[in-house]
């Protein structure tokens, strides 16, 4: 008997997957040449599975800022934000984020995962209620487990269900913190934020929006779903990450709450981990500026997203409900999904494979995503490869295109 025996069912399922001849969870990139080109196993691939929406990972200015800070400040801070881990860059980035979101304050965390863990577990205390969209990201669920609040899920993107659940709490003491995401990571669908905000107002609740996938993607200034929906004043807390459109790593929360900074002394995932390296901070700071300076990136992203979505949709694939940078194909079962993913990689296209229970509706998903810097020819090549494999595997009717 080993302490790992409890994972035998998972081990078994994983073994089955590997027997199919590929391992989607152990892909190693030999080299990466640009936001969209890499080699895997010695062969060139186009990357259609990342979160690099604006292609900023290779922006020359983003790289140069990082290099300069690496040389000036060294490789890491070796300490917590509340000890020796706050440099001018960290404070400057917090100011930059607050200004970008037109809010009073911002806090920077070491990852987006930790930002959710920190905010959700700290904001919602013993007598409070957390109301989570059922399709919330793992970091939101984990934050709720770390919190002492009561946790209630509502049906995905269903403001009426949220309203019913808030009504059932009438007369109970405590705050109600609603948590939703601007764009959901698996299907790329958007939260109905106008309706959610209305329910929130009527119930006197507090609203936190995770803009992980919508920062730099939605809204006139790229501030995300809340900006696009015109309900920023209803959102007390915006959480986000640097690991997607900003091309780095790290997380943040920004808010207008006057006492926001007290959280620095009670958010454990902020306090008990080392801060981001100065080079990373400098790259992200520059990335945020690039995002603002170049609205064209966002427009190119949406044009590319539309091209990929239209291409796959007219081929006959079942996709998520909203065109956007995440375009996911729903597949009937794990065997087909794995075969599809493997064939696609052989054809030189890398996408993400998402298997239940990490998917919203027990179907596996081929999760593809575009960036602002994919070319039309690359997108057409991906659509053609997916269509050909879709027909070969019987997912599509032949000649549907």
Partner 1 sequence: MTDCKEIVEHIVAHLRTVIPPGTEISTESRIVADLGLDSLAVMNFVMALEDEFDVSLTMDNLAQVETIADLAGTLAALINRVAE
Ligand X SMILES: Cc1ncc(COP(=O)(O)O)c(C=O)c1O
**Cα torsion through 210, 211, 213, 215, rounded to 10:** -160
d(C-alpha 359, C-alpha 353), whole Å: 10
d(C-alpha 233, C-alpha 240), whole Å: 17
Stretches 108-116, 158-166, 320-328, 345-353: which one binds ligand X (CB under 6 A)?
A: 108-116
In the complex with partner 1, the residue whose CB is nearer, 204 or 398, is 204
d(C-alpha 286, C-alpha 67), whole Å: 12
In the complex with ligand X, the residue whose CB is nearer, 50 or 65, is 50
d(C-alpha 332, C-alpha 392), whole Å: 14
Place of tokens 């939101």: 140
| Residue from 157, 243, 279, 338 in contact with ligand X (CB under 6 A) | 243
| Residue from 54, 93, 132, 212 in contact with ligand X (CB under 6 A) | 212
Look up 213 and say whether it is catalytic. Answer: yes
d(C-alpha 316, C-alpha 302), whole Å: 21
Question: What's the closest the beta carbon of residue 221 comes to ligand X, in angstroms?
Answer: 20
94 binds ligand X (CB under 6 A): no
For 353, the 3-state DSSP assignment is strand
112 binds ligand X (CB under 6 A): yes
* One character per residue 159-188, x = contact with ligand X (rule: CB under 6 A): ----------------------x---x---
SS3 content of the chain, % helix, strand, coil (to 5): 45, 15, 40
- Closest to 235 in 3D by CA, of 291, 275, 194: 194
251 binds ligand X (CB under 6 A): yes
Which run of H or of E encompasses 130?
Answer: strand 129-133
In the complex with partner 1, the residue whose CB is nearer, 9 or 21, is 9
d(C-alpha 194, C-alpha 314), whole Å: 30
Q: Where along the sequence are the contacts to partner 1 (CB under 8 A)?
A: 134, 144-145, 150-153, 155, 161, 164-165, 168-169, 356-357, 361-362
Task: List binders of ligand X among 191-210 (CB under 6 A).
Answer: 210
Report the partner that residue 60 touches, choosing among partner 1, ligand X, none (CB closer than 5 to 8 A by kind). Answer: none
Report the partner that residue 153 touches, choosing among partner 1, ligand X, none (CB closer than 5 to 8 A by kind). Answer: partner 1
Do residues 255 and 236 touch, judged by C-beta distance below 8 A?
Answer: yes
In the complex with ligand X, the residue whose CB is nearer, 57 or 185, is 185
Which run of H or of E encompasses 198?
Answer: helix 193-203
Look up 6 and say whether it is catalytic. Answer: no
Question: What's the closest the beta carbon of residue 155 comes to partner 1, in angstroms?
Answer: 6
- Tell me which of 90, 137, 244, 374 is the catalytic residue: 244
In the complex with ligand X, the residue whose CB is nearer, 113 or 260, is 113
In the complex with partner 1, the residue whose CB is nearer, 134 or 194, is 134
Report the partner that residue 214 touches, choosing among ligand X, partner 1, none (CB closer than 5 to 8 A by kind). Answer: none
Report the partner that residue 144 touches, choosing among ligand X, partner 1, none (CB closer than 5 to 8 A by kind). Answer: partner 1
Report the partner that residue 384 touches, choosing among ligand X, partner 1, none (CB closer than 5 to 8 A by kind). Answer: none
139 binds ligand X (CB under 6 A): yes
Stretches 94-102, 105-113, 230-238, 365-373: which one binds ligand X (CB under 6 A)?
A: 105-113
d(C-alpha 238, C-alpha 236), whole Å: 7
Tokens standing for 178? 């609603």
- Tell me which of 105, 136, 185, 191 is the catalytic residue: 185
d(C-alpha 123, C-alpha 206), whole Å: 10
In the complex with partner 1, the residue whose CB is nearer, 104 or 164, is 164
- Tell me which of 213, 214, 245, 369 is the catalytic residue: 213
Question: What's the closest the beta carbon of residue 273 comes to ligand X, in angstroms?
Answer: 12
Please count the other Cβ atoms lying within 10 Å of the Cβ belonging to residue 74.
Answer: 13
User: What DSSP string runs through 263-332?
Assistant: GGGT-HHHHSSBPPPHHHHHHHHHHHHHHHH-HHHHHHHHHHHHHHHHHHHHHT--B-SS-SSEEEEE-S
Q: Which residue is nearest to ligand X (CB)?
A: 112
Residues that bind ligand X (CB under 6 A): 111-113, 116, 137, 139, 181, 185, 210, 212-213, 241, 243, 251
Catalytic residues: 185, 213, 244
């Amino acid at each position: 008997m080993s302490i790992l025996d409890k994972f035998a069912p998972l081990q078994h399922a994983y073994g089955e997957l590997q027997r199919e001849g590929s391992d989607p969870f152990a892909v190693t990139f030999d080299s990466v040449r640009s936001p969209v080109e890499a080699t895997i196993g010695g062969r060139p691939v186009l990357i259609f599975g990342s979160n690099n929406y604006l292609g900023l990972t290779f922006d020359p200015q983003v790289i140069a800022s990082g290099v300069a800070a690496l040389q000036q400040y060294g490789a890491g801070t070796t300490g917590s934000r509340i000890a020796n881990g706050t440099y001018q860059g960290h404070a400057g980035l917090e100011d930059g984020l607050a200004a970008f979101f037109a809010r009073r304050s911002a806090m920077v965390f070491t990852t987006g995962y930790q930002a959710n863990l920190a905010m959700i577990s700290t904001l919602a205390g013993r007598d409070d209620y957390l109301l989570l969209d059922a399709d919330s990201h793992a970091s939101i669920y984990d934050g709720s487990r770390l919190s002492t609040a009561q946790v209630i899920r509502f049906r995905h993107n269903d403001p009426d269900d949220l309203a019913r659940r808030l009504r059932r709490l009438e007369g109970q003491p405590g705050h109600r913190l609603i948590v939703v995401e601007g764009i959901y990571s698996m299907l790329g669908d958007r939260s109905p934020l106008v309706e959610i905000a209305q329910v929130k107002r009527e119930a006197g609740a507090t609203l936190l929006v995770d803009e992980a996938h919508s920062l730099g993607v939605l809204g006139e200034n790229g501030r995300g779903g809340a900006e696009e929906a015109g309900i920023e004043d209803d959102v007390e807390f915006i959480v986000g990450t640097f690991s997607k459109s900003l091309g780095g790593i790290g997380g943040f929360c920004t808010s207008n709450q006057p006492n926001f900074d007290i959280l620095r002394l009670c958010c454990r995932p902020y306090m008990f981990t080392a801060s981001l390296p100065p080079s990373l901070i400098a790259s992200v700071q520059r990335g945020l500026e690039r995002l603002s300076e170049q609205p064209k990136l966002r427009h190119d992203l949406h044009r590319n997203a539309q091209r990929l979505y239209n291409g796959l949709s007219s081929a006959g694939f079942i996709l998520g409900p909203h065109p956007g940078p995440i375009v996911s194909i729903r597949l009937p079962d794990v065997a087909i999904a794995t075969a599809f993913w493997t064939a696609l990689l052989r054809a030189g296209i890398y996408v993400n494979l998402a298997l239940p229970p990490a998917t919203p509706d027990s179907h596996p998903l081929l999760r593809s995503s575009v960036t602002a810097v994919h070319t039309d020819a690359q997108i057409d090549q991906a659509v053609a490869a997916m269509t050909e494999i879709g027909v070969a595997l019987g997912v599509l009717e032949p000649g549907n295109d």
